[in-house]
C-alpha cells in the first residue's frame, strides 16, 4: 500500500511538473512569438459566444431556485426582504464563478482536449513542427487568450442573469416588496463582490484551458486516448476548480477587505 501511495505521489508530481512546463512555454511564447489574432477571435467565438446558452441557463435557474429556497427559510423569521441580498452575495462570491467554471469545463475543456488529442494521434502536430510552426503558438496560445478574456465575462453574465431571475421570482412570484428587495440588495452588495467574481472567473479559466491543452497534447493510444483525454480534462478541471475555490475565498477576502 505504501508503494502504491508513493507511486501515485510521483505521478501527481510528474503531472504538476508537465503542467508547469506547459505554462512556462506558453508564457515565453506570448512574449517572443507573434500572436495569431485571427485564431484568437475564432476561439473567442467558440469558447465565449457559443457558451452563452449554458451560461444563461445556469445563471438564471441558479438564481431562481436559490431565491425560492432562501425565501421559504427566511419567511419563518419574517426576513423575506433579505432574500435578494443573500442570493446576490452568494452568486457573486461563490455560486456564479464555480458553477459557470464547471459548466465551461464540461463544454470548452472537453472540446479543446478532444481537438488537440485528435491532432496528436493523427500526427497533425508533428506536421506543424515539420512546417516550422510551434504547436504552443498555434494551438495553445489562441485558446488561452480566448478563455482568459471570455471567462470573466461569462461569470459576470451568469451572475447578472441570476440576480435578474432572483428579482423576478422574489417580487413577481413570491410577492416580496420590490423596493425592500432592491434596498437590501444595494445595501449589502459591494464592488468587492464583483472583483471576487471576476478574479475567480479568470483563475478558473486559466486552470480549465491549461489542463485541457495538456491532456490533448499528451493523448496516446489512438481512439482510446482521444476518448480518454476530454474525460480526464473535465474531471481534473472540475476538481481543481472546487479545490482552488476554497483557497481563493480566503485569499480574495484578504485582498479585497470588506467595505472596498
**Full residue range of the structural domain in which residue 210 is found:** 35-255
Q: How many structural domains comprise the chain?
A: 1
Domain membership flag for residue 28:
no
* pTM score: 0.91
**Cα-Cα end-to-end distance for the chain:** 50
All residues at 6 or more sequence positions from 103 whose CB lies less than 8 Å from its CB, including other chains: 51, 54, 55, 58
The predicted pLDDT at position 2 comes to 58
**Residue 9 lies inside a defined structural domain of this protein:** no
Answer yes or no: is 16 within a domain: no
12 part of a folded domain: no
pLDDT at 32 over 90: no
* pLDDT of amino acid 126: 83
Q: Give dist(CA 232, CA 186) in Å, integer.
A: 42
pLDDT in tens, 102-123: 999 998 988 899 899 888 888 8
Cell of 153: 465575462
pLDDT at position 5 over 80: no
More confident residue, 216 or 221: 216
- Domain membership of residue 19 (yes or no) is no
Distances (CA, A) of 72 to 58, 77, 83, 161, 206: 21, 10, 10, 21, 38
pLDDT tier at 206, thresholds 50, 70, 90: very high
What burial letters (b/e) apply to 43-74, b meaning 16+ CB within 10 Å? bbebbbeebeebbeebbbebbbebbbebbeeb
> Is 215 contained in some domain?
yes
Is 115 a member of any domain?
yes
DSSP state letters, 187-219: HH--HHHHHHHHHHHHHHHHHHHHHHHHHHHT-
Is 15 contained in some domain? no
Amino acid at each position: 500500500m505504501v508503494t502504491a501511495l508513493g507511486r501515485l505521489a510521483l505521478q501527481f508530481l510528474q503531472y504538476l511538473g508537465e503542467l508547469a512546463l506547459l505554462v512556462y512555454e506558453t508564457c515565453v511564447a506570448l512574449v517572443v512569438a507573434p500572436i495569431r489574432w485571427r485564431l484568437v477571435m475564432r476561439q473567442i467565438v467558440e469558447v465565449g459566444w457559443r457558451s452563452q446558452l449554458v451560461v444563461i441557463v445556469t445563471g438564471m435557474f441558479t438564481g431562481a431556485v436559490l431565491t425560492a429556497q432562501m425565501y421559504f427559510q427566511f419567511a419563518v423569521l419574517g426576513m423575506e426582504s433579505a432574500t435578494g441580498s443573500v442570493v446576490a452575495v452568494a452568486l457573486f462570491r461563490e455560486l456564479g464563478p464555480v458553477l459557470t467554471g464547471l459548466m465551461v469545463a464540461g463544454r470548452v475543456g472537453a472540446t479543446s482536449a478532444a481537438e488537440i488529442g485528435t491532432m496528436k494521434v493523427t500526427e497533425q502536430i508533428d506536421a506543424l513542427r515539420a512546417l516550422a510552426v510551434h504547436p504552443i503558438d498555434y494551438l495553445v496560445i489562441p485558446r488561452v487568450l480566448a478563455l482568459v478574456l471570455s471567462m470573466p465575462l461569462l461569470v459576470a453574465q451568469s451572475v447578472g442573469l441570476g440576480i435578474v431571475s432572483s428579482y423576478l421570482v422574489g417580487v413577481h412570484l413570491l410577492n416580496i416588496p420590490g423596493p425592500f428587495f432592491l434596498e437590501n440588495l444595494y445595501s449589502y452588495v459591494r464592488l468587492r463582490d464583483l472583483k471576487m467574481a471576476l478574479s475567480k472567473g479568470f483563475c478558473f479559466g486559466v486552470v480549465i484551458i491549461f489542463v485541457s491543452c495538456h491532456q490533448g497534447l499528451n493523448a496516446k493510444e489512438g481512439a482510446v486516448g482521444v476518448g480518454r483525454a476530454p474525460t480526464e480534462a473535465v474531471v481534473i478541471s472540475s476538481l481543481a476548480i472546487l479545490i482552488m475555490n476554497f483557497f481563493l475565498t480566503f485569499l480574495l477576502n484578504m485582498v479585497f477587505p470588506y467595505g472596498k
